[in-house]
Chain A
Amino acid sequence: MLAFALKRLALALLVALTVSIVSFSLLRLSGDLAQALAGPSATAADVEAVRKAYGLDQPLWVQYLAWARQALHGDLGTSFFFKEPVAAMIAARLPVTMTLGVSALLFALLVALPLGILAALKPNSWVDRLALTLSVVGQALPSFWFALMLMILFGLKLRWLPISGTASWKSFVMPAIALGYYGMPTFMRLTRAGMMEVLASDYIRTARAKGLRAPAILLKHALRNAIVPVVAVAAVQLGFFLGGSIVIESVFALHGVGYLGWESISRADFPVVQAIVLVLALFYIVLTLLADLLNAFLDPRIRVG
């Protein structure tokens, strides 16, 4: 197990390093950063001055090494726009994004687990069909549009929920739904399949034969085993939610990391963009690593094979 874990850790570090190099190069090479910073009305001399001032005239690898050396010491650079340290800006907005990501995950699980269990107990019942139809529709909905439709319904017509800001927990309800519904079908299918398999197994038959009551069997014996694959997938899904929160954050004006990224792109504030790409990638890498280790811990075949 230890050798497996160390191997995975090394791989994760290598991936993180590569992501930082690739994203750094992408952001530097896909356009003239000095021109974007100076603005469309700047003269050629202004653009050159900006290029010198921010060190953009140096070779790419020199710029990367300088950035990477600072990043390793926890210094993610200074925002072009706010003149503040980027690390502090991101840290200040991280709680909003984390809250959004975790509540999206909770929403997906809260809907998917009961529906998956019901579907496994009574396949093809009306509950099963309703849940299926909802998921099929959900998969094809553009998330930003779904978010706007929620706003019109719950924010304007029914006036149940605020349409922007982060004042109370109510502000996170619609964003969590809009972000979380996309992960729902995966969890539902995993739960449904897992439950059906477990319910058909011998030890459940034994429990029934011993005369245990149905809810006890369902919760204590069946669910505990059926839920294992869901946990690992949930970790990876959380990584996707954090990375994909940019669209939802900008629709609801939630001032999280994604919103900061969007604003910074519009302002050509690239130290911030670069740092956010790295932070989001790190979250994804760490969560996948955890999911892999968890899987290997629960299923010895993976670490040997």
Chain B
Amino acid sequence: MTVETFSGAERILEPSAGALLRRRVFGHAGFMIGAAIILAILAAALLAPWLAPHDPYAQDLTRRLVPPVWDAKGSWLDPLGTDQLGRDYLSRLLFGARISLLIGFSAALISGLIGTGLGLCAGYFGGRVDMVASFVVTTRLAMPVVLVALAVVALAGGSLHIVVAVLGLLLWDRFAVVTRAATHQVRQLDYVAAARATGCSTARIILAEILPNIMNALIVIATIEMANAILLDAALSFLGLGVQPPLPDWGLMVAEGKEYMFFSPWVIAIPGLALFTLVLAINLVGDGLRDLAAPENRN
């Protein structure tokens, strides 16, 4: 009835292979680097209307596919060049940061609520509740996420809300597994027994005694799912079934630039690098938080 009904649990609980590797490469500087990058991207997203040199939707068909400023044919008029419709690439990149951050954050929030709820119930009540929850997680893992997300978004329409909802409803498995295991550990501790002895209600024990003590683990998972949601959203947009043009979504920018990539490689290189930088930064922050949350693992 325990973990054996769900074989993925042990694997997800430990720091992932990637996390260990990143830690060995960046050490503790990783957290600072990641945090600095995220803050910079966040600032760029918030200040986009003031930072952007042009309107991200304004087309200028006389200035199509102008190369970036470091190219001989580039100019400071469009520092990162223009796309196939003559829109300023830097401005689109800045506004695109808003979409990626918004999708990453909201999807992680939704999946966090679902997964944590499921995991808390499974870990606290155990027995049959645990069996049902493990079964639900196993079923979710067996569904091919990209295909299901694509199909549902295609049918329901590719608005920002729908994409956020679909990603949020699909990416809760890790939250559930980790919350379940952490809750299982915490509920056997003395202070939970003490709370029960003083007559606290079950809801109070779960929300006020257990939840705050597993918060650290949840925040780390939230960073992982944020990175996941951003990559998955980019993949959906790239396949043409995520958010729709003319939104400056980074995945969509890669898709739109694909036709021109052989003669103007920067149109796909720039948004791709932006995605890569953001996801790497989120991963670094997640690893750093994991270290801060578990001082015993610091060596």
Residues of A within 8 A of B (CB): 11, 14-16, 18-19, 22-23, 26-27, 30-33, 36, 129, 132-133, 135-137, 139-145, 148-149, 151-152, 156, 185-186, 188-190, 233, 236, 243-244, 246-247, 250, 258, 261-262, 265-266, 268, 270, 273, 276-277, 280-281, 284-285, 288, 291-292, 295, 302, 305
Cβ of A277 and Cβ of B147 under 8 Å apart? yes
Cβ of B156 and Cβ of A156 under 8 Å apart? no
Residue B76 lies at the interface, judged by CB distance under 8 Å to chain A: no
Given contacts A33-B155, A188-B17, whether A142 and B272 have CB atoms under 8 Å apart is yes
- Rounded to whole angstroms, the CA-CA distance of A129 and B25 in the bound complex is 7
Instruction: Say which residue of A19, A189, A266, A276 sits within 8 Å of B21 (CB atoms).
Output: A189
Can you give 14 contacting A-B residue pairs, CB < 8 Å? Answer: A14-B135, A26-B152, A140-B283, A141-B276, A145-B275, A185-B21, A186-B16, A236-B8, A246-B239, A270-B151, A277-B147, A280-B144, A291-B7, A305-B4
Given contacts A142-B272, A265-B241, whether A185 and B17 have CB atoms under 8 Å apart is yes
Given contacts A31-B156, A285-B142, whether A136 and B25 have CB atoms under 8 Å apart is yes
Contacts of A243 in B (CB 8 A): 144-147
Contacts of A258 in B (CB 8 A): 147
Residue B246 lies at the interface, judged by CB distance under 8 Å to chain A: no
A143's nearest neighbour on chain B, judged by CB, is: B235
Cβ of A142 and Cβ of B234 under 8 Å apart? yes
Could you say which of B52-60, B62-70, B211-219, B257-265 contacts chain A? B257-265
Cβ of A277 and Cβ of B148 under 8 Å apart? yes
Contacts of B251 in A (CB 8 A): 142, 144
Residue B297 lies at the interface, judged by CB distance under 8 Å to chain A: no
Contacts of A302 in B (CB 8 A): 4
Give B134 Cβ to nearest chain A Cβ, in Å. Answer: 10
Given contacts A31-B155, A135-B18, whether A140 and B265 have CB atoms under 8 Å apart is no
Cβ of B147 and Cβ of A19 under 8 Å apart? no
B272's nearest neighbour on chain A, judged by CB, is: A145
- Rounded to whole angstroms, the CA-CA distance of A132 and B254 in the bound complex is 27
Residue B141 lies at the interface, judged by CB distance under 8 Å to chain A: yes
Cβ of B22 and Cβ of A148 under 8 Å apart? no
With an 8 Å Cβ cutoff, the count of chain B residues facing the other chain is 54
Residue B45 lies at the interface, judged by CB distance under 8 Å to chain A: no
Instruction: Return the 6 tightest CB-CB contacts between A and B, nearest first.
Output: A31-B155, A243-B144, A145-B272, A140-B280, A189-B17, A185-B17
Contacts of B106 in A (CB 8 A): none
Contacts of A291 in B (CB 8 A): 7
Contacts of B254 in A (CB 8 A): 142, 144-145, 148
Give A97 Cβ to nearest chain B Cβ, in Å. Answer: 11
A262's nearest neighbour on chain B, judged by CB, is: B239
Interface residues of B in 80-100 (CB under 8 A from A): none
- Rounded to whole angstroms, the CA-CA distance of A236 and B8 in the bound complex is 10
Give A299 Cβ to nearest chain B Cβ, in Å. Answer: 12
Contacts of A32 in B (CB 8 A): 155
Cβ of A27 and Cβ of B152 under 8 Å apart? yes
Cβ of B21 and Cβ of A132 under 8 Å apart? yes
Residues of B within 8 A of A (CB): 4-5, 7-8, 11, 16-18, 20-22, 24-26, 135, 138-139, 141-148, 150-152, 154-157, 227, 231, 234-235, 238-241, 251, 254, 258, 261-262, 265, 268-269, 272, 275-276, 279-280, 283
Known pairs A265-B150, A280-B147. 9 more at Cβ < 8 A? A19-B143, A132-B21, A132-B24, A142-B279, A145-B268, A246-B150, A246-B239, A268-B155, A277-B144
Cβ of B262 and Cβ of A156 under 8 Å apart? yes
Given contacts A23-B143, A30-B156, A266-B241, whether A136 and B138 have CB atoms under 8 Å apart is no
Cβ of A136 and Cβ of B146 under 8 Å apart? no
Given contacts A18-B139, A22-B139, A266-B154, whether A244 and B146 have CB atoms under 8 Å apart is yes
- Rounded to whole angstroms, the CA-CA distance of A193 and B152 in the bound complex is 41
Instruction: Say which residue of B142, B151, B227, B238 sits within 8 Å of A144 (CB atoms).
Output: B238
Cβ of B154 and Cβ of A26 under 8 Å apart? no
Give B176 Cβ to nearest chain A Cβ, in Å. Answer: 15
Contacts of A135 in B (CB 8 A): 17-18, 21
- Rounded to whole angstroms, the CA-CA distance of A188 and B238 in the bound complex is 30
Give A281 Cβ to nearest chain B Cβ, in Å. Answer: 5
Contacts of A36 in B (CB 8 A): 154-155
Contacts of A261 in B (CB 8 A): 147, 150
Give A186 Cβ to nearest chain B Cβ, in Å. Answer: 4
Cβ of A247 and Cβ of B146 under 8 Å apart? yes
- Rounded to whole angstroms, the CA-CA distance of A224 and B297 in the bound complex is 30
Instruction: Say which residue of B18, B138, B152, B239 sits within 8 Å of A185 (CB atoms).
Output: B18
Contacts of B147 in A (CB 8 A): 243, 246, 258, 261, 265, 273, 276-277, 280
